Amino acid sequence: MKTHSHTASLVWLAALLWSLCAAFPALAQVRTLPDFTELVEQVGPSVVNIRTMAKISRSSPLGPEYDQDMFEFFRHFGLPVPALPRPSPRQGPQRRQDEEQPRGVGSGFIISADGVIMTNAHVIDDADEVYVTLPDKREFKARVVGADKRTDVAVVKIDASGLPAVRIGDVGRLKVGEWVMAIGSPFGLDNTVTAGIVSAKQRDTGDYLPFIQTDVAINPGNSGGPLINMRGEVVGINSQIYSRSGGSMGISFSIPIDEAMRVSDQLRQHGRVSRGRMGVQIDQVSKDVAESAGLGKPQGALVRSVEEDSPADKAGVEAGDIILRFDGKPVDKASDLPRLVGGTKPGTRSTVTVFRRGTTRDLRVTIAEAESDKGSSRPSDRPRSSKGSNAAEKWGLEVSELTDAQKQELRIKGGVMIDAATDAAAQAGLREGDVILAINNTSVSNVREFDAAMVKAQASRPLPVFFRRGNWAQYTVIRPAR
């Protein structure tokens, strides 16, 4: 009787657990941890070890009669190097020896069966020779197809066929909290597998690309290896870590594979990457800047300066504009803009949506090919006449007219030069030599217009100011003393 009752209880408990799992799928998911064995078997054969060599030239200071090993013997044990007569012209110059020395170790993965391999640009940087070792221990000397330091993506090629290529995943489907796996050669240890979860997406580290952040253990030598989702697809290239010790601290960054594939396609076709440019220097839109400009919330990219004769200049973009959209795509933060523009083919006619003086307008810009930015300059030969009104002095400002030469140098139509900034103006960050272009989102071309704007300013409310410092334009808010 007890046996029957015990069995009935077990059946009832099993039924309860089954119903709970059916009602709450999350409970079923935590019953077991993910199994990566099939993924390793599937992707492992496509992951390679990359080692680089550098040629070092040496010459024997003892002349052709002694080789380098003998010289090192004397030097190592602190023995005096025997004096030798100078070589005669018949003996010729001192012998030079070119030696290959290991430079570094990294990882990579096969993206096509004919031996095309993707890795990081920093893995092969400055290497004289690149060697690829497959998981089956076959080794090949690789040819560098191309490398792009800006995105840290490189492509190398080995003479082989029938190789197992990886499957490329969709980064758009990748979710924070999703399990991922890495395979690589940390510290030269081939075919090492580590796993973790996606910690964040679109992580801005100041580089050209938004990174995938994970807690997967990534160490030196993992660079260039694949980040793999649970479907066995590559979703990123392991590229960077945050570390105070040089080893893994649970914060790793991977290049999104969609961005990397776009770069690799250009490298394979042209050997280099062609990027678009507009010719603007930009900055983040802070809360104070948004308040000063009347934008409502911090968003977009603040144009600090516009390069002369650049596509942006020809399109009418001005310093102080806040770029909100590019070709219809939102610019939520400043780092979004160079990614959008850089990914646009040179020669494309694009639309830039800017916020200027409280209004939004669309400008048409023809994208040029990326080139190095020019430096900035500062205004000079400031006049010391036509001081501002008493209203301006209450805010801690003294200003004067701009000369025609200064307007031409700064490429502006008007404004007033700050001769002195004290009290509230100084606390707002203004200083002598700055050029005020607008007060309360109202343009000021000269001292008279500046005075009129200052008279209208309410002493009890913050005063938005748009100004130039050299070639850089920015906003600030002068706050009344409390």
The domain segmentation of the chain, as residue ranges, is: 46-77+96-157, 167-270, 276-369, 390-478
Q: What is the CATH number of domain 46-77+96-157?
A: 2.40.10.10
Percent of the chain predicted with pLDDT > 90: 30
- Residue 465 has a pLDDT of 87
The question of whether 152 is a catalytic residue gets the answer yes
Mean pLDDT of the chain: 79
Pick 82 or 299 by higher pLDDT: 299
| Average pLDDT, integer, range 186-206 | 82
For the whole model, what pTM was predicted? 0.61
* Euclidean distance between CA atoms 468 and 436, whole angstroms: 6
User: Which range, 125-139, 373-387, 448-462, has the best average confidence (pLDDT)?
Assistant: 125-139
**Catalytic residue at 4?**
no
pLDDT at residue 16 in the model: 62
What would the pLDDT profile of 268-306 be if each residue is shown by its tens digit?
A: 988 888 888 898 888 888 888 888 888 888 889 999 888
- Amino acid code (one letter) for 249: M
pLDDT surpasses 80 at 28: no
Nearest to 164 by CA among 141, 136, 194, 195: 136
* Domain 167-270: CATH class, spelled out: mainly beta
Q: Got the DSSP string for 242-308?
A: --SSSS--S-EEEEEHHHHHHHHHHHHHHSS---EE--EEEEE--HHHHHHHT-SSS-SEEEEEE-T
- At residue 97 the predicted structure's pLDDT band, cuts being 50, 70 and 90, is low
Residue 423 among the catalytic residues: no
| Residue 247 vs residue 393, higher pLDDT | 393
152 marked ligand binding residue: yes
Question: Residue 244's pLDDT band (boundaries 50, 70, 90)?
Answer: low
Label residue 206 by pLDDT band (50, 70, 90): low
Token pair of 450 as six digits: 């500046």
Question: When comparing pLDDT for 195 and 61, which is higher?
Answer: 195
From 46, 107, 199, 223, the catalytic residue: 223
Is the pLDDT higher at 270 or at 84? 270
Distance CA(170)–CA(150), nearest Å, equals 22
Percent of the chain with pLDDT over 70: 76
**238 labelled as ligand-binding?**
no
pLDDT for 390: 63
Write down the CATH number for the domain with range 390-478.
2.30.42.60
Asked if CATH classification 2.30.42.10 holds for the domain at 276-369, the reply, yes or no, is yes
428 versus 16: which is more confidently predicted?
428
Averaged pLDDT for residues 124-152: 90
Asked if the model's pLDDT at residue 374 lies above 50, the reply is no
pLDDT at 455: 81
Confidence of residue 65 (pLDDT cuts 50, 70, 90): very low
The Cα 290–Cα 299 span in angstroms is 8
The answer on pLDDT for 25 being more than 90 is no
pLDDT tops 70 at residue 253: yes
Catalytic residue among 148, 152, 321, 434: 152
**Is 223 annotated among the ligand-binding residues?**
yes
Strands 167-168 and 233-241: parallel
Asked whether the predicted pLDDT for residue 86 surpasses 60, the reply is: no
Q: Do domains 46-77+96-157 and 276-369 have the same CATH topology?
A: no
